[in-house]
Chains A and B, each alone.
Chain A
Amino acid sequence: MIDLDTSLIFEQGADGRCGVDMPAPPKHTARLGSLKRQNKIGLPGLSEPQMVRHYSRLSQKNFGIDTVFYPLGSCTMKHNPRINEKLARLPGFSSLHPMQPSVTTQGALELMDILSDWLKKLTGMTAVALSPAAGAHGEFAGMAAIKSALLARGEKRTKVLVPESAHGTNPATAAALGYNVESISATADGRVDVAVLKSKLGPDVAAIMLTNPNTCGLFERDIIEIAEAVHGAGAFFYCDGANFNAIVGRVRPADLGIDVMHINLHKTFSTPHGGGGPGSGPIVLAEALAPFVPLPYVVADGKNFKLIEHAADTKGTKTYGRLKTFHGQMGMFIRALAYMLSHGADGLRQVAEDAVLNANYILASLQDIMSAPFDGPCMHEALFDDRFLKGTDVSTLDIAKALLDRGFHPMTMYFPLVVHGAFLIEPTETESKETLDAFIATMRDLTAKAKNGESEFFHQSPRLSPRRRLDETRAARTPVLRWKPT
């Protein structure tokens, strides 16, 4: 790739340069009080041609699903359909102000209601709250529902149980709500140790937070037994829905005994990852938790739809309050619904099957030369650890960096923490067999090189990417978080 200059905008802008033409303000009597800004801000301006060139060049330095295979475990990097983008941009949605009178926004409210219906049917759950802005936000909303329900019961429970393999947001969320987090170990076959779990249940446990399939890519086969034990102890069952792509359309979380689950619309339902966001993390709730939802939510009112925004207007719910401005990530709702309508119940079932098939194909094709910690089959993601690299002086990180030069985004590395040097590979259903075969061939080649003692090759990788390995220690020891004028 030819190296095109991408100097910072601060190094490009010239005084007075502007890429937006505006009419002069009409005559008016200003009323800014004494608050008018006296000094310069220091912002650079670019003309439109410069701006387009700058950001186009920046984009060319990025990998994206559009350009490369992106098998990040638990991220579900599936293709982002473009019809979703077209429909989200319809002026009837994009120029709709959230605080317009409801009579002028019935189409939007109806869309939210239809999306809620899909989420309830796909999960088998009773209620939905659409407002959380991201997965972690949804976790907070769901755990808040549990906390509120226990308070309503008059019970003070202080502990939350979380498997060792859990994503960091799980314990972080529980701790944020004031719970003590206790870890549950796994069995030799990578599932939650039910005996250990049962031994930790008691009147002081508020909830368990499980991911299913779990972060090792395995279905928790004892999940119904777990749910029964949890409920028997008077606790609630939170499910992290990050891995819903493995079972969507084939299994309903409600049938597994789950009380509340967040869904990552930007994972299972294809809304774009956008370089780190925005996401959307609605929660689905079982009957016991259905009253304890955040505001606002949409209700059908005869033929019309209404937004419930105040606790006083709630009927049959005991809301714990509002979690963000306005109504939720409407732009993501439109995209997710377009995706659901495009696939339908039959297509979504196929999504889960192809996702699981693809991951197992990778597992089967690499397990002879790489080390899988748990026996297959897996669900939608395949897990390897770094035992196969023992004695090679090549680490999981080194393999990942070598993959970059081959035109693949690496898999998730070093997560879950329960195995050493983890490689977590989630291909998703939108990859062809040809792509999987190319990836498998590359992994076989790299593994052979590692075992052949070519460690220097790996340590010098990547060589072809826009930048080579970056000094993260330096970035942390002497943080430079912005440009400064000299």
Chain B
Amino acid sequence: MRYLPLTPPDRAAMLKKIGAASVDDLFHDVPVVARLKGNIHGLPDHQSEIEVERFISSLAGKNIHAGSCPSFLGAGAYHHHIPASVDQLLLRGEFLTSYTPYQPEVSQGTLQYLFEFQTQVALLTGMEIANASMYDGATAAAEAVQMANRITRRRRAVISGNLHPHYLEVIQTIADLTGFELQVAVRCPRTDENFTVDETTSCVVVQNPDFFGRLHDFSALAETCQKNGALLIVVVTEIISLGLLKSPGDMGADIVVAEGQSLGNGLNFGGPYVGLFACKEKYVRQMPGRLCGETVDADGRCGFVLTLSTREQHIRREKATSNICTNSGLCALAFTMHLSLLGEKGLTDLAELNHAMACNLADALVKIPGCKVLNDNFFNEFVLELPKPAATVVDELAKLPILAGVPVSRFCPDNAALKNLLLVAATELTTEEDIEIFAAELRKVCT
């Protein structure tokens, strides 16, 4: 078997050294009733690369992917171009197959890219510090709420109804299981939200651009929060938007959480992704997740280590700030490499291109009778109101195939008022031709 180096003579020699007659002797602590006689039933025997590749490729072949046809999908995951060099470097074995940098002397590669990543995330979000990444944006958001609860010593979080529904659901699940209160505003793409913030509020959680793509300036809300001793948490699900938009830090956010998937990480059917977590420096000891810090070595040379670990589970155990162990290492590496290729100029240009394509897409779709763009403003995603249920339209267009966007009803099936709404996104991968085809076919389906 190609991954198992031991040969029969090896095994014999080793058993002799150990003083065991057979390998079964080494399993003698297993209760007799639990010892399987042969191999596990109902599973095939080993296969060659040829067979494995054939089978799994056939599964991949049953999918219609976003790169193969016009696609306009967003809703928290975005189809962007990843420069070829990013993935090539991810395959370097010293990145791919290394472990968490607990032996910093031989992990300076990992530690330095984490330090650079933390800096980039802080700069992008306009915040003072950032951690070395979380599982995804939604778990980062839930951790942020718990962090706000710890800092304010309050147990009531106010949540925007226009947060990405998955983020809301995750925060709700954590609230139910760990015992704190949520006050959730009503979800609505047409009106502005008002929040009641008082001295029982631990935090207010909002999103920009919101789930419906609308843009908001939360500066006034930040002041309200500050007056009441509550924290403002801003969620960003499309990180490229920060290339063009005012940063949450500049609005006065206390904590920013984001999904970093758009940089360096493909769609991958939903994972693995990379959660970003940034906040004010004064809250550093309450931050969940890993942190990389600068220091010097025995020769006085600059180097990096994981630090402030005493917040974490392996030291604080039941008193840890979170139970988190892993970060999203390789995904954070992809993010930081992609962003270092882009730089300020590239990110700005990329964001402008995204916005331009979305504007032209909106202008094309709005010409279709019965279709209306609900947003006054957006970055690269907006809500299209159709004359019929969006899910039906999407299924029709999928046959062509065109991946027309995400029906809001996919997230909120019980909300009749939102049934005809379609979330539509454009990126730098969207072409004028894609837009023409989409508009033509959508017109047919809508009549």
In the complex, which residues 316-369 of chain A have their Cβ closer than 8 Å to any Cβ of chain B? 320-332, 334, 337-338, 340-351, 353-354, 356-358, 360-361, 363-365
Cross-chain contact A97 with B267 (CB below 8 angstroms): yes
A356–B63 CA distance with the chains assembled, in angstroms: 40
When C-beta atoms are compared, the residue in chain A nearest to B130 turns out to be: A482
Question: Do A56 and B89 form a contact, CB below 8 Å, given A312-B413, A351-B4, A475-B305?
Answer: yes
**A264 to chain B: closest CB distance in Å?**
9
A59 touches B63 (CB 8 A): no
User: CB-nearest residue of chain B relative to A354?
Assistant: B6
Q: Are A61 and B62 within 8 A (Cβ)?
A: no
Is there an interface contact between B317 and A172, defined as CB atoms closer than 8 Å? yes
Task: Check: B444 CB closer than 8 A to any chain A CB.
Answer: no
> Are A28 and B293 in contact, with the CB atoms below 8 A?
no
Residue contact A169 to B105, C-beta cutoff 8 Å: no
Is B190 in contact with chain A by the CB < 8 A criterion? no
Partner of B271, one of A133, A266, A409: A133
A346 B45 Cβ-Cβ under 8 A: yes
Q: Which positions 138-192 of chain A face chain B at CB distance < 8 Å?
A: 139-140, 144, 147, 167-169, 171-178, 181
CB atoms of B242 and A278 under 8 A apart? no
Smallest Cβ-Cβ distance to A99: which chain B residue: B406
Q: Name the residue of chain B whose CB is nearest to the CB of A72.
A: B99
Whether A62 touches B98, Cβ cut-off 8 Å, given contacts A91-B65, A95-B66, A329-B271, is: yes
Of the candidates A6, A122, A218, A278, the one whose C-beta lies within 8 Å of that of B40 is: A122
Contact A337 B323, beta carbon cutoff 8 Å = no
CB distance from B355 to the nearest CB of A (A): 7
Q: Does B240 contact A (CB under 8 A)?
A: no
Judge if B97 is at the interface, Cβ distance under 8 Å: yes
Q: Which of B55, B73, B332 contacts A341 (CB 8 A)?
A: B55
Residue among B27, B30, B246 making CB contact with A35, cutoff 8 Å: B246
Residues from chain B with a CB closer than 8 A to the CB of A181 are 317-318
CB-CB under 8 A from B4, the residues of chain A are 347, 350-351, 354, 429-430
- B341 and A327 contact, CB distance less than 8 A: no
Which chain A residue shows the least CB distance to B295?
A475
Q: Which of B74-82, B151-159, B195-203 contacts A (4 or more CB under 8 A)?
A: B74-82
Q: B447 at interface (Cβ–Cβ under 8 A)?
A: no
Min CB distance B192 to A, Å, is: 12
Residues of chain A from 1 to 22 with CB closer than 8 A to chain B in the complex: 6, 8-10, 13, 15-20, 22
- Rounded to whole angstroms, the CA-CA distance of A101 and B315 in the bound complex is 44
Q: How far is the CA of A55 from the CA of B116 in the complex (A)?
A: 11
Contact A23 B353 (CB under 8 A): yes
B27 to A433, Cβ gap below 8 A?
A: no
Cβ of A159 to closest chain B Cβ, rounded Å: 12
- A444-475 vs B, CB cutoff 8 Å, 1 = contact: the mask equals 00000000000000001010011111111011
**CB proximity of B200 to chain A, nearest CB, Å:** 20
A361 and B14 alpha carbons, distance in the complex (Å): 6
A319: min CB distance to chain B, Å:
9
Of the candidates A61, A80, A376, which one forms a contact with B97 in the assembled complex, judged by CB atoms under 8 Å apart? A80
Number of chain A interface residues as a range: 35 or more
Query: Cβ of A356 and Cβ of B44 under 8 Å apart?
Result: no
Task: Check if B211 is an interface residue, CB within 8 A of chain A.
Answer: no
CB distance from B126 to the nearest CB of A (A): 8
| Chain B residues positioned under 8 Å from A105 (CB to CB) | 63-64, 269
A224 contacts which chain B residues (CB < 8 A)? Answer: 31, 33-34
Q: When the two chains form the complex, which single residue of A106, A176, A223, A278 contacts B328, counting CB atoms closer than 8 Å?
A: A278
Within 8 A of B (CB), among A281-304: 294-295
Complex Cα distance, B410 from A135, in Å, reads 29
Tell me if B99 and A118 are in contact (CB < 8 A).
no
Report the Cα distance A135→B359, complex, angstroms.
42
Output the least CB separation between A284 and chain B (Å): 14
The answer, yes or no, to whether B11 is at the interface (CB within 8 Å) is yes
What is the CA–CA distance of A330 and B116 in the complex, to the nearest angstrom?
Answer: 27
Contact A108 B269 (CB under 8 A): yes
* 7 intermolecular pairs with C-beta atoms under 8 Å apart: A15-B344, A44-B343, A275-B100, A321-B176, A330-B269, A467-B105, A481-B292
List the 5 shortest-distance A-B pairs measured between CB atoms, nearest first. Answer: A45-B343, A326-B270, A92-B60, A66-B93, A107-B62
List 15 extra interface pairs beyond A36-B246, A321-B172, A409-B106, CB under 8 A: A33-B376, A55-B89, A63-B98, A87-B57, A89-B87, A97-B73, A111-B59, A177-B177, A273-B99, A275-B101, A344-B44, A348-B40, A361-B14, A467-B104, A481-B293
